Amino acid sequence: MTPRTGTACACTNIALVKYWGKRDADANRPAAGSISLTLAGLVTRTTVTFDRPAGYDCLTLNGAPQTGESLARVSRFLDLVREAAGSRDGASVESANSFPTGSGLASSAAGFAALAVAAARAGDLGLEPTQLSALARRGSGSAARSIFGGFVELRAEGADPRALQLLSETEWDLRMIIAVVGGGSPKAVSSRSGMVHTAQTSPLYPGWLASVPSDLAVARAAILDRDLATLGEVAERSALTMHASAMAARPGLIYFQPTTLALMQAVIELRRRGIAAWFTIDAGPHVKVLTTPEHAAKLAEVLGAVPGVTSVLTSRPGPGAV
């Protein structure tokens, strides 16, 4: 019998070599590759059931019914699954995050990875993980990486870009500390519109894109060698180069808050004192710090004491979507 429902869990991921720009917006193909670490504990769980009339998808997020653009984006994604399944049925989608809502950590990476796996199961598409990755990418570029656990590379090449695993979550035990800044502050410009605006208006965008291939090569080798210092250096410079391109857009996109800068300085100072710590920052004010299991508790304590930090989460490498 054809299953009509599917449930999936996916962890979020944090990019160490950033994705910032598209080759083509319709199929959501990235302009360059990216490398990330999937994080345990920051999980989205989603159930898709094809049980509604055509054209009447519904979506609840943490129990709250959604309308407008967030429902429309999910419906457009489900259209891809319906097309592949040869069906027009509407779906009920229920999704919940394991992490605090309003923390600013809600992620399209975990969200669209879980949606892709759940919808593919509900539509009985029988897809392999790499095919699920390509499908998840249509929802959100970063979601392509959350199909896999541990260290993951999204390759930009090819007609239908997909991610592959570099090391599993059990092959290198690291920690990512997330310092949440200004929980509940007004939402920044989304990654989706921020990267399009940067590509269209920033004179530094070509320089950013040109910097990615060598960062990917260095990061890939550092991961395979378990060379944390080299990986950390690449992660910091990739984030800073991405943000430099965004800041130079017209008008400029500034995701940093004063606390973001204070955290960056704190990480640099801790490193000077011999603590393994390297930061990365996405399209928001929070600072994510890559470190070792031994240094994680000390770092969480110091970063948590920086004025303006509203909470601190510590995560280990997490598994792929199931």
Q: Which residues bind ligand DP6 (CB under 6 A)?
A: 15, 18-20, 28, 34, 108, 140-142, 191-192, 282-283
Closer CB to ligand DP6, 17 or 48, in the complex: 17
For residues 316 and 174, is the Cβ–Cβ distance under 8 A? yes
Nearest approach, Cβ of 169 to ligand DP6 (angstroms)?
18
Rounded to the nearest whole angstrom, what is the least distance from the CB of residue 198 to ligand DP6 in the complex? Answer: 10
Q: Report the residue number, 192 or 295, with the smaller CB distance to ligand DP6.
A: 192
Q: Which is nearer to ligand DP6, 26 or 128 (CB)?
A: 26
Cis peptide before 251 (omega within 30 of 0): yes
Nearer to ligand DP6, 50 or 208 (CB): 208
Nearer to ligand DP6 by Cβ, of 20 and 151: the residue is: 20
Least Å from the CB of residue 15 to ligand DP6: 3
Give min distance, CB of 188 to ligand DP6, in A: 11
Ranges of H-type helices in the chain: 68-85, 108-122, 129-139, 143-146, 191-201, 205-225, 228-247, 258-272, 296-304
- Closest by CA to 144, choosing from 197, 108, 95, 105, is 108
Q: How far is the CB of 153 from ligand DP6 (least distance, A)?
A: 11
Residue tagged 């249509």 (tokens): 138
Distance, in Å, from the CA atom of 177 to the CA atom of 139, rounded to the nearest integer, reads: 27
CA 202, CA 199: separation in Å to the nearest integer? 6
